Structure 1
Amino acid sequence: MGIRLTQAPAEEPVTLEEAKLHLRVIDSSEDALISLLITAARAHAENVCRRVFVTQKWDLFLDAFPFYTYYGVIPGYVPVDQLPSAWMTMRNYAVRFRGSKIDIPFPRLQSVDAVQYIDALGNKQALDPSLYVVDNVSEPGVLTPKTGTYWPDTLNTTNAVQISFTAGYGDAKDVPAGIKSWIMLRVATLYENREQVAILNRGQVHDLPYVDQLLDSYRIMGYA
């Protein structure tokens, strides 16, 4: 599986003016630096939460549509008298089924824009949107074939399936306040400590535990 950004966000969740107000900076001599720190803080927060904030477009690549294999005798699926006796004893008859669900990373999923695949003959095809269902309420979003249909067969090659999608909360104004607050606090830390190692001249400095807890409500757990 691979993932590729095709359209970056048009703006950051926190504006330069908002960050400067938080930093109490009034001149413009370090605007470029502060803008860079905003981007770095936003990217880190997205990585921690495993979601994206302002609208972005991505391509998800899979080697094949999902399938799973069942091991064991399935009553009624294959006549028992057609199974080798050793298989009947060991209960290791294997049946391959077409799978269904595809998790779309980086919620909130706004739309699936295209599903393309390389068919068994090596031709690139576009899957008709009427043949799949998009669940953009679940997080992560889910793509499934329409009831009564199956994912098509693909060529045995890498990146045979390409899913183009749009994700994010929307514009900067739609990003939750907790995320914006974390970004501004992170920018302030990066602005104050510009070296890789901080030298403490006034005793020990402790992290404030509530800061990272600002992101807890937005983390996507149990999804790699």
Structure 2
Amino acid sequence: MTEKLKTRSTEMPITKELARAAVAADGEELDPLIETFVRGITAEIEHRIGQKVMVQTWLWIGDRFPTDIVLPHPVRSVVSVKFIDAAGIMQTLDPADYKLVGEQYETWLVPGDGRAWPETFDTVSAVTVEVIAGMAETPEEVDPAISSFILLRLREEMDPDPRNAIAIEYCARKLDGLRSYR
């Protein structure tokens, strides 16, 4: 099983104006550097909490259908479920044949009520599930714990100061409330 990013978010989890203010940048000349750091910090957060922050498209790829498919969380929608059938022909599963089941911090794809996963051809990557996942579409929808952590880490990346370590660790602990434990 593999999870693969298909399309990353075009939106950052904080506005450029807020990012510039955090690092006391007066103009746009630092924007490319700021964006690189913010995207890296966001990836760090996603790793820490086991969830996708901004809306993005992911692929789940497996050799067969497992009992349930653990998807990148939170899932906003399933784009498609494709598989190579027992005859070796690519098929797209009807949405009525599967359903999303989720808890606060995990989402699974399971067969629809009274249904079972179809047989697949014996090959690698026989099943591909494409989903749209992410907590927020815009910076305004981002959890304040995430925004705070990004701003402090950004400031630290742009101007390292050992005194920031305590504040960063404090904000990192706030992320624990968003963490998936899988």
TM over 0.5, shorter chain: yes
Aligned to 1:171: 137
Relative to its length, the structure with more helix (as a share) is 2
**1:152-198: per-residue Cα shift (whole Å, max 9, x none)?**
011111111000101112312211111011011111111113xxxxx
Correspondence 1:114 to 2:74? no
1:214 matched residue in structure 2: 174
> In 2, distance between residues paired with 1:30 and 1:102?
41
Q: Which deviates more, 44-53 or 179-188?
A: 44-53
CA distance in 2 between partners of 1:30 and 1:147 (Å): 53
Structure 1 counterpart SS, 2:148: helix
Instruction: Judge conservation of contact 2:84–2:90 (CA < 8 Å) in 1.
Output: yes
Partner SS state of residue 214, structure 1: helix
Are the aligned partners of 1:114 and 1:165 in contact in 2 as well (CA < 8 Å)?
yes
Partner of 2:110: 144
SS of the residue aligned with 1:207?
helix
Distance 2:103 2:77 in 1: 11
Give the distance between the partners of 1:124 and 1:29, measured in 2 at CA: 48
What is the match of residue 189 of structure 1? 156
Q: Report the RMSD for the aligned CA atoms in angstroms.
A: 1.8
* Inter-partner Cα distance in structure 2 for 1:28 and 1:61: 40
Q: Select which of 81, 93, 96 maps to 1:130.
A: 96
Partner of 2:42: 42
Structure 1 residues 42 and 153: CA distance shift in structure 2, 3 A: same
Q: Distance in 2 between matches of 1:159 and 1:27?
A: 47
TM-score by length of 1: 0.74
Greater than 6 Å deviation, 4+ residue runs: none
How far, CA to CA, are the matches of 2:164 and 2:137 in structure 1? Answer: 34
Q: Does residue 17 of the first structure (1) align with residue 23 of the second (2)? A: no
Aligned length: 179
Deviation at 1:206, TM superposition (A): 7.6
Instruction: State whether residues 53 and 135 of structure 2, in contact with CA within 8 Å, keep that contact through their aligned partners in structure 1.
Output: yes
Matches within 5 A, 1:19-34: 19-34=19-34
Which residue number corresponds to residue 8 of structure 1? 8
Q: Cα offset for 1:29?
A: 3.1
* Higher alpha-carbon deviation: 30-39 or 7-16: 30-39
**TM-score, length of structure 2 as denominator length:** 0.90
Q: C-alpha displacement at 1:112, in angstroms?
A: 1.1
Distance 1:41 1:103 in 2: 24
User: Secondary structure of 1:120's match?
Assistant: coil
Structure 2 gaps of 5+ residues are none
Task: Give aligned-pair identity as a percent.
Answer: 29
Contact 2:74 2:135 in 1 (8 A): yes
